[in-house]
Structure 1
Amino acid sequence: MIIYGTALLATCHLLGIFLGDLLGHALGVKTNVGGVGIAMLLLIVARLYMQQRQILPKLTELGVEYWGALYIPVVVAMAAQQDMVAALRGGPVALLAAAITVLVCAGVISAINRSERGEHEPVPAPLLHDNPLLTEAE
């Protein structure tokens, strides 16, 4: 059954690549535009649709979760295929975009970390009288 999750991912991936190629052609560039992102969105939509209809077996869901966990490494591997030298020759826009992205990510992570800090533990109120159980035991 886990293989069905992989088959669902493969179907979404092929559709995403096809739609990414169509989008690239429509924009006038000869490359895939967002195919992997489209594929992952299709996978999310398909999974939610199947869960709402209760036609997604648990083992198939595990296969989908497995590939969902691998999403970031797949995107990093696909980004490594891009021609960074050509991007850098295109001007300082690529460097500026990278620097801004790093700064925004650092700011968002910092904000999330600050918002998740728990409140300080309240100091327990002092006892007004001694506990009778403690005084008897002495």
Structure 2
Amino acid sequence: MVIYGVGLLSFAFLVGQILGDMLGKVIGVKANVGGVGISIFLLLILIEYLTKKGKLEIKTQEGLKFWGAMYIPIVVAMAAQQNVMAAIKGGPIALLAGVITVIVMFLIIPLLAKVGNKDANDEFEEMETEPKIS
């Protein structure tokens, strides 16, 4: 079976893990901080960008949809195994980083939803303006 989209998924995962490790070092925590979230966010951004530019074949898009659906539960399960107590013992800055990240994501999600709805509304308006044949 040919698996499409694994290279892009791997790239997003590796970049997310590297940035998460760097963020952990910057704030003084001996753990990956936000690497999973960064990976998922980067994967979504890359898929959207490459799809709009027409750089992804249909099979690759379908493969990425599959891996996107599989990636989140698998990586979240893996991340759940991380030592949360070590992060908490890292000090209040680790907790603050987590709280700030959650707040920022809650603020970004409605903005992303508006962008998605705008594209859907544009398509709907185009369909409404087409002449109807009776």
TM class, shorter-length = 0.5 to 0.7
User: With structure 2 as the length reference, what TM-score do the two structures score?
Assistant: 0.57
The one-letter amino acid paired with 1:58 is I
Q: Quick one: structure 1 residues 75 and 26, their matched pair in 2 at CA, closer, same or farther if it must change by over 3 Å?
A: same
Deviations 1:65-86 (A, max 9, x none): 11111133224322331336x4
Question: Equivalent residue for 1:99?
Answer: none
Question: Equivalent residue for 2:73?
Answer: 73
- Of Structure 1 and Structure 2, the greater helix share is in 2
Q: Matches of 1:60 and 1:32 in 2, distance apart?
A: 30
Q: Matches of 1:72 and 1:3 in 2, distance apart?
A: 18
Runs of 4+ in structure 1 deviating by more than 3 angstroms, as ranges, are: none
Question: Equivalent residue for 2:52?
Answer: 52
Q: Matches of 1:53 and 1:77 in 2, distance apart?
A: 33
The one-letter amino acid paired with 2:19 is L
Partner of 1:50: helix, strand, or coil?
helix
Question: Equivalent residue for 2:43?
Answer: 43
Question: Equivalent residue for 1:31?
Answer: 31
Deviations 1:108-134 (A, max 9, x none): xxxxxxxxxxxxxxxxxxxxxxxxxxx
Q: Matches of 2:28 and 2:77 in 1, distance apart?
A: 25
Q: Matches of 1:46 and 1:76 in 2, distance apart?
A: 20
Q: Matches of 1:42 and 1:57 in 2, distance apart?
A: 19
Aligned residue runs from structure 1 range 43-122, under 5 A:
43-83=43-83, 86=85
The one-letter amino acid paired with 2:23 is L
Percent identity over the alignment? 49
> Structure 2: which 5+ residue stretches go unaligned?
90-134
Matched pairs, number: 89
The one-letter amino acid paired with 1:23 is L
Deviation of 1:4 after TM superposition, in Å, equals 4.1
Q: Matches of 2:67 and 2:28 in 1, distance apart?
A: 31
